[in-house]
Amino acid sequence: MTHTAITITCTNEIKDILIAELSEKGFDGFEEQGATLVAYIPESNFDEGAVKDLTTKYGVTFTSERVEQENWNAVWESNFQPVLVDNFCGIRASFHEPFDPAPLHEIVITPKMSFGTGHHATTASMIKLMHGIDFLGKKVFDFGTGTGILAILAAKMGAAVIDAIDIDTWSVENTKENIDNNNALAVKVWQSDTLKNIRNTYHVVLANINRNILLEFMADMRSLLERNGILLLSGILKEDETAILEAARKNGLVLETILDKDNWLAMKLLARK
């Protein structure tokens, strides 16, 4: 698959906003290199006019280039570095040495174009929230699985059933590869852009996506939860906290914990009704 890469020079504050808004426009990979943001999107989905409108809105400019699949993987792998979250979960590629000392859980991923390698504040905060949950024997649903990291971590923490979906077929294939790499055979993943056809209920639902999707699917995510179930959300900019919490409240979800990292929020919500 051929991608288009856009490169933007901006402040860290604007960078966070652009990642959120570009992900809503179909961009599925991001590299942060100092003051530079590189974002990737399948070439067929690239709308130059929409990107120009967005960058103009924030007073920045962009350049774009065509990236062939083989070049994408080489670039992505060359920039991928191991990630360690609180000595609890380490994430690395197969070409990296194992962590020493070893964290409680180690996940080995193939760092292709799927979003969610643990580097971004949203994924790291989700992992921190998962650390405080007992997953043993639990049923888990991962909405927008990306690379499958959170689903795989749930399996390593003892979850009995882990179902995962993503809108992007490439993410699904990447997740399947990562499931095999980590022997996380309890994880089942498939391509879908809706929760309407899910008939099971779960003890924990994970959703590291973006504000608009979280708001659109809040009621559907609540319907997947068993009584006293847990909903973990991330991909939320600090300025969107009020809107997310209001939608959660309307659907019988109570905030228990909130984490703030680099202007990104992650929330632990409980299904009380």
pTM of the full structure: 0.80
**CATH 3.40.50.150 domain range(s) in the chain:** 121-271
Q: Which of 27-31, 36-40, 130-134 bottoms out in mean pLDDT, i.e. has the lowest? A: 27-31
What is the structure's pLDDT at 113?
A: 52
Q: CA torsion sign, 221 to 227 to 230 to 236?
A: positive
Quick one: tokens of 96?
């990296």
- Give the whole-angstrom CA distance, residue 172 versus residue 165: 7
> Is residue 122 helix, strand or coil?
helix
Residue type at 157 in one-letter notation: M
Mean pLDDT value across residues 20-26: 84
How does pLDDT run across 64-103, given as a tens digit for each residue? 998 876 555 566 566 677 889 999 999 998 888 999 999 9
- What are the Cα distances from residue 71, in Å, to 2, 28, 65, 79? 9, 16, 12, 13
Q: Above 90 in pLDDT, residue 12? A: no
Q: Above 70 in pLDDT, residue 45? A: yes
Q: Which of 3.40.50.150, 3.30.450.20, 2.60.40.1180, 1.10.3720.10 would CATH assign to domain 121-271?
A: 3.40.50.150
Structure-model confidence comparison of residues 220 and 31, the more confident one: 220
- What are the Cα distances from residue 205, in Å, to 14, 190, 240? 30, 16, 20
> Is residue 181 helix, strand or coil?
helix
According to CATH, the superfamily of the domain at 3-78 is UreE, C-terminal domain (3.30.70.790)
**CATH 3.30.70.790 domain range(s) in the chain:** 3-78
How does pLDDT run across 104-159, given as a tens digit for each residue? 999 998 866 545 555 577 889 999 999 999 999 999 999 999 889 999 999 999 99
> Is residue 261 helix, strand or coil?
strand
What is the structure's pLDDT at 73?
A: 58
146 neighbors 77 (Cβ within 8 angstroms): no
How does pLDDT run across 182-194, given as a tens digit for each residue? 999 999 999 999 9
Pairing mode of beta strands 161-166, 187-191: parallel
How does pLDDT run across 68-77, given as a tens digit for each residue? 765 555 665 6
What is the structure's pLDDT at 167?
A: 86
What is the structure's pLDDT at 79?
A: 63
What is the structure's pLDDT at 99?
A: 94
